[in-house]
Structure 1
Amino acid sequence: MNEQLIKLIELQEIDSKIDEANDNIEKINSEMNFLQETLVKEKEQIESSRKDITGSNILKKEKEIEIASIDEKIKKHNMELNAVKTNAAYKALLNEIESGKNEKLRIEDELLALMESDEINSKDIKDMQKEYENLKKEFVEKKVLFESVLKKSGELVSQLFSERKTKLSELPKNIADKYENIRKNKNGAAVVMVEDNTCGGCHRNLPVHVIDELKKGQDLITCNNCMRILYQK
């Protein structure tokens, strides 16, 4: 096999390892970002529910004040019943008392609904807090693991780039440039193996004269269709 072709294959193997390591780094960063975003959203939901309860507590206090005020009015009207002189005034006070009682019942129903809602929200907050703590624990544990993996992957990429630089320097500039251009245009695969007389990149059948040239192993041969560099084992 052509010596330059051997170096190109070795160079592509290095590039494949770099791509794999970078993909691994990207996946780890993506998962870390997802976990972090999930934590933030969970915390925001907890804070939102707590604000709802705080707002509800203010409303409940207002309802309790309204009920106390109505009780005072009813008490006052009951005392006034003994002092009225006319039947019309007596009936008017009874209507006021009845209206106050109905208003009190309405507000008490609203107060009860708020209390029931708070009870549900409080339970939800406990559940969300528990989920948040579990997620936080998972995040911390994975962060330690991922940071270790990222460090090793970074060191590996650095080492591979050094090997890549050395391997490129062993090739003539025109061949190195050709490899780089093909790799860029073909999403990484610049050198492909021929199987059953077909290009391993575009899978087109290769002409007989191309196969013959490959067998000679003297020159770099490219696929006429996809322009990738070809080799045979």
Structure 2
Amino acid sequence: MNEKLATLIELQNIDIKKDEIINKISNIHNETKLFEESMKKKQEEIENAKSEISKDSVFKKDKDFEIASVEEKIRKHNMELNGVKTNDAYRALLNEIENGKQIKLRIEDELLIVMEKDEKLLKSIKDLQNQYIEIEKEFANKKNVFEIELKKHEEDIAKLEEERKLKIDVLPKNISEKYENVRNNKHGIAVVPIDNNTCGGCHRNLPIHVIDEVQKGKELVICNNCLRILYKKL
């Protein structure tokens, strides 16, 4: 096999390993992000529920004030009953008192609905806080593992970078540039084997003269379709 081609295959194997490690690092960062987003979402849900309870507190105070105002009117009308001199005036006061009682009942119903809602919100807050704690604990445990894994991955990448440089340094510049260009445009795979007379990259049938040139191993041969560098498995 052409020495330059052998070096390119070794270089690609290094790059494949490096890409796999980079993918693992990316997965760790993504998982970390998911934990952080999940915790943030729970915290926002807790804050929203607390904010709703706070608004309801103002609402309940307003309604308590309305009830007190209605009760005061009812009390005054009851006192006025003793002083009226006509049946019409008496009936009018009774109507006012009854209307006041109905208004009070309606306000109390509104308060009851809000109180029941707040009770559910308080339970929801407790559940969300427990969920937040569980996520936080799991993240804390995973974080230690992530840090160890990231450190090892970074060390492995540093070693691969050194190996990669050694391979690049022995290749002519035009060949290394060709490799980099194809690799960047073909999802990281620039050198492919011939498989049953087809290109191992795009799987197109290869002309006999192309296969012959590859077998001779004198020069680098590329696939006319996908432009990947071809080699014959030993």
TM-score by length of structure 1 reads: 0.95
Segments of structure 2 that go 5 or more residues without pairing to the other structure are none
2:181 is aligned with what amino acid?
A: N
> Could you tell me which residue of structure 1 aligns to residue 120 of structure 2?
120
Q: Does 1:183 align with 2:194?
A: no
Q: Summarize the alignment of residues 62-101 of structure 1 with structure 2, pairs less than 5 Å apart.
A: 62-101=62-101
For 1:67 and 1:14, the matched residues in 2 are separated by: 79
For 1:117 and 1:225, the matched residues in 2 are separated by: 67
1:125 is aligned with what amino acid?
A: I
Q: Summarize the alignment of residues 99-114 of structure 1 with structure 2, pairs less than 5 Å apart.
A: 99-114=99-114
1:97 deviates by 0.5
1:41 is aligned with what amino acid?
A: K
The DSSP-based 3-state class of the residue aligned with 1:230 is strand
1:131 is aligned with what amino acid?
A: Q
1:47 is aligned with what amino acid?
A: E
Select between 71-80 and 166-175 the one with higher mean Cα deviation: 71-80
Deviation track 1:114-141 (CA, whole Å, cap 9, x = no partner) reads 1111111111111111111111112222
The DSSP-based 3-state class of the residue aligned with 2:195 is coil
Over the aligned positions, Cα root-mean-square deviation in angstroms equals 1.3
Q: Does 1:133 align with 2:129?
A: no
- Identical residues among aligned pairs (%): 58
The DSSP-based 3-state class of the residue aligned with 1:194 is strand
Q: Does 1:167 align with 2:167?
A: yes
Q: Does 1:15 align with 2:15?
A: yes
For 2:9 and 2:107, the matched residues in 1 are separated by: 82
1:6 deviates by 0.9
Segments of structure 1 that go 5 or more residues without pairing to the other structure are none
1:31 is aligned with what amino acid?
A: E
For 2:114 and 2:187, the matched residues in 1 are separated by: 60
> Could you tell me which residue of structure 1 aligns to residue 226 of structure 2?
226
TM-score by length of structure 2 reads: 0.95
1:166 is aligned with what amino acid?
A: L
For 2:225 and 2:98, the matched residues in 1 are separated by: 94
Large movers: runs of 4+ above 3 Å: none
Q: Does 1:155 align with 2:150?
A: no
Select between 66-75 and 198-207 the one with higher mean Cα deviation: 66-75
